[in-house]
Amino acid sequence: MPPRSAKKPAADDVSLAGTRAEHEALGREIAEHDRRYYEEDAPTVSDAEYDELRRRYEMLEERFPELKSADSLTERVGAKGSEKFAKVRHRVPMLSLANGFGEEDVREFVERIRRFLNLKSDAPLVFTAEPKIDGLSLSLTYDKGRLVTAATRGDGAEGEDVTANARTVSDIPKQLRGKDVPELAEIRGEVYLSHVDFAEINARQAAAGEKIFANPRNAAAGSLRQLDVSITAARPLRFLAYTWGEMSVLPAKTQFEMVKAFERWGFRTSPLTRRVVGLDEMLAYHRELERERANLGYDIDGVVYKVDELALQQRLGFVSRSPRWALAHKFPAQKATTVLEDILIYVGRTGSLNPAAKLKPVTVGGVVVQNATLHNEDYIKGVGGNGEPIRGGVDIRIGDTVVVERAGDVIPKVLEVVVEKRPPDAEPYVFPTICPACGSHAVREVNPRSGKEDSVRRCTGGLVCPAQARERLKHFVSRHAFDIEGLGAQRIDEFYDEGLIRAPQDIFTLERRNGLLRLEAREGWGDTSVRNLFAAINARRSIALPRFIHALGISHIGETNARLLARHFGTFDGLRGTARAAVDSNSEAYAELTSIGGVGEVVADALVEFFKEAHNQEMLDALLKEVTPEPAEQAASDSPVAGKTVVFTGALEQMTRDEAKAMAERLGAKVAGSVSKKTDLVVAGPGAGSKLDRAREAGVEVVDEDGWFALVGRGA
């Protein structure tokens, strides 16, 4: 399928039924690439390839919001830090940036900002534009001008303490200078290596018989994260400052002037940073840097645009993993031609049969590619989700010469087939109708909502399918779920094969059963490793409610929806009770589920189905004897609407609906889509209809926009 830079996928490209398997497969591969990139500093794909995979992943979620909560990686940042270093909790999360891959993406970014802020098309909108340095993100905290902590991004919430190493980097000032240095200042930027320094490091590595780094980014990350500080000191790392985290006083009112303040304080900043006004200047800047990137002497992989005025940044706020006011405009993807040697089928935790291409290794933009996604059964056949031809209707066969693309996401993909090079004996690929993991029938069901056949073929084995059981267990212990150190995918496979762990609750009874199991006597184990495993398991007997909900693997309930549900219900018993009472779609309980901001009928139906299944109830009863989900944290008590449920209705005149919702959530309120007995406040603008009537009937407090601002403060 040709890449679609900038636009949402067309309806004839994808369907919900036909893309769920692709979405899951992309998610698995992206997560693995994240682990290699952030934890091991050893990526196996290029940035362009990674970006193309994530781009495709995000396009699917944009076209089908129902996919967004299904283990969505769009809500994640980075990966957890290495166990080699002490941990640092970021008081202001280190978020990643949304990506754009073509001019249309940038146009949509600007238009979204105008819609959110209700700006007219001719109102000037100024951005700060800067090169996107390809290095390692670093946070530097200064107390009264003195460097006290340096931390990597990690997973965005918690990073690694690399203070001693950072002190050896000459570009990082130990003491800030200037009259306007805040008492507390957290400066963020990028650690990187120049091309010349990278070549010299690799020459020394080769002469010493040591590991050769694949690229400057890997070398910079590996150099900063050395346990031996002298190794870091011996490598010519550089640092560019471009943003900030916690700051006791802001020295400027615009992004551009903030960067100028960093210069005054002693930091190096990019001399290529400039202000641009409007779309044309943004795109001209991108084209200029793309032309000059080879002459810069260091790696960049795109351009970053940021709304210049800080007051507008505050109004725009954030989505779960990135700011609304910034965009990374990546450089184009790269392609290569190779031979497809085999088609492999992997079974996901929902039973989906996910095809992948095994390729003759080929270098694409400096990275060796050996595997690529084939999305789903229809994609192999050369048809889209609605049966219309794609790639000219050419199918994909083993032995074909194919064009592989790696661009701005995570997984390489087979883009097209070079038909004239097809071997004469190449046969059409016959997609399996039997699950390769358990031998059960694999079927394509008819979607009851659309009446169309699902493009995803699924194993009907359910709980008897070992592949599904394994994948569910791997999800349960994964980083954004229970995150049990030492109990990764390989260990789950081992324990599952031996019958030691077949369900989540078995994890927490493992220590009690060890008198019979004698793990420490097994090959590769010892007293210390067994003790560490049990300690890691016991550390998760009390767990944050959003993690617990996410770990259950309920369809459509990824991290974002898990947080929404945790915040709304406060306790797992509250969620479970409401979901069980919502079997009747006309009930008050079902109405409550669908009134939660961000939760619609698809998610509500998934919750109902999960909690009414007897096997799931038995599993939960057993699991809750071992584990305690902690009540959700309450919002800050100093906000007058913290913890309250707010409904906006009617035409808002002083702010857009999106801005109103973002403001309420920033203040700790819950935003619902409909009025119920749990509604605390209705904000009604002109033209408010049935919601206002219901609020008055129920005795719910009603205010207009002026009343809302009087309640929360105009600058909230």
Residue 4: what pLDDT? 35
467 domain residue, yes or no? no
**CB of 379 within 8 A of CB of 1?**
yes
- Report, as residue numbers or ranges, the catalytic residues: 132
b/e map 303-322, b = 16+ CB within 10 Å: bbbbbbbbebbebbbbebbb
Element (H, E) at 443: strand 442-443
| Residue 144 sits in the same domain as residue 163 | yes
CATH of the domain at 594: 1.10.150.20
Task: Clarify whether residues 152 and 244 are in a common domain.
Answer: yes
Mean pLDDT of 540-569: 89
* CA–CA–CA angle 376, 348, 354 (5° rounding): 20
Whether residues 138 and 231 fall in one domain: yes
Residue 117 and residue 327: Cα distance in Å, rounded?
A: 17
CA distance 324 to 334: 28
Angle, CA 403 vertex, CA 401 and CA 404 arms, to 5°: 120
> Do residues 202 and 219 touch, judged by C-beta distance below 8 A?
yes
What is the domain count for the chain? 4
pLDDT digits (tens, 9 = 90+) for 447-490: 655 667 778 888 877 667 888 888 889 999 988 889 898 898 88
Judgement on whether residues 130 and 37 belong to the same structural domain of the protein: no
Q: Which of 69-73, 462-466, 557-561, 600-604 has the lowest mean pLDDT?
A: 69-73
CATH, residue 675 = 3.40.50.10190
Q: C-alpha distances in angstroms, 267 versus 86, 263, 270, 298, 453?
A: 26, 5, 10, 18, 58
pLDDT at 12 over 50: no
Residue 41 structural domain: 16-76+334-421
Residue 151 is assigned to a structural domain of this protein: yes
320 vs 327: CA distance, rounded Å: 15
Instruction: Say if residue 714's pLDDT is above 80.
Output: no
CA gap 540, 389 in Å, rounded? 49
Tell whether the torsion through CA atoms of 401, 407, 410 and 415 is positive or negative: negative
pLDDT in tens, 586-636: 888 888 888 786 777 888 888 998 898 888 888 899 999 999 999 886 555
Half-sphere exposure of 394 (CA within 13 A, CB side): 20
CATH number for the domain spanning 346: value is 2.40.50.140
Domain assignment present for residue 64? The answer is: yes
State the DSSP string of 221-264.
HHHHT-SSHHHHHTS--EEEEEEEEEESS-S-SBHHHHHHHHHH
Contact 714, 679 (CB under 8 A): no
- Please check whether residues 617 and 654 belong to one and the same domain: no
Alpha carbon of 203 to those of 197, 207, 538, 581: distances in Å?
10, 6, 47, 67
- Residue 513 belongs to a domain: no
Asked whether residue 91 falls in the same domain as residue 68, the answer is no
Q: Amino acid identity, residue 302?
A: G
> 630, 659, 688 — which closes off a domain?
630
- Among residues 320, 343, 373, the one where a domain terminates is 320
Q: Which residue has the higher pLDDT, 86 or 511?
A: 511
Last residue of a domain, one of 262, 292, 320: 320
Whether 377 and 340 share a structural domain: yes
pLDDT at position 41, please?
A: 47
Higher-pLDDT residue of 511, 407: 511
Side chain identity at 415, as an amino acid letter?
L
Q: Is residue 639 part of a domain?
A: no
CATH code (residue 143): 3.30.470.30
Q: Is residue 538 part of a domain?
A: no
Question: Are both 71 and 91 inside the same structural domain?
Answer: no
DSSP 540: T
H-only helix segments in 489-595:
489-497, 504-508, 510-517, 527-538, 545-551, 559-569, 572-581, 588-595
Are both 69 and 204 inside the same structural domain? no
What's CA 157's distance to the chain center, in Å? Answer: 13
pLDDT at 370 > cutoff 80? yes
- Tell the residue number behind the tokens 């020295």, with chain if given: 251
Same domain, 69 and 106: no
Average pLDDT over residues 263-287: 96
CA atoms within 13 A on the CB side of 421: 14
Per residue in 304-360, pLDDT (tens digit) is: 999 999 999 999 988 867 899 999 999 877 788 999 999 999 998 888 899 999 999
Give residues with Cβ within 8 angstroms of 568, minimum separation 6: 596, 670
* CA diameter of the chain: 81
Q: Are residues 95 and 137 in the same domain?
A: yes
204-210-213-216 Cα dihedral, nearest 10 degrees: -30
Same domain, yes or no, for 216 and 265?
yes
Residue 489 lies in a domain: no
Q: DSSP string of 353-394? A: EEEEEEEEEEEETTEEEEEEE--SHHHHHTB-TTS-BSGGG-
Encoded amino acid at 414, one letter: V
Instruction: Tell me whether residue 437 is in a domain.
Output: no
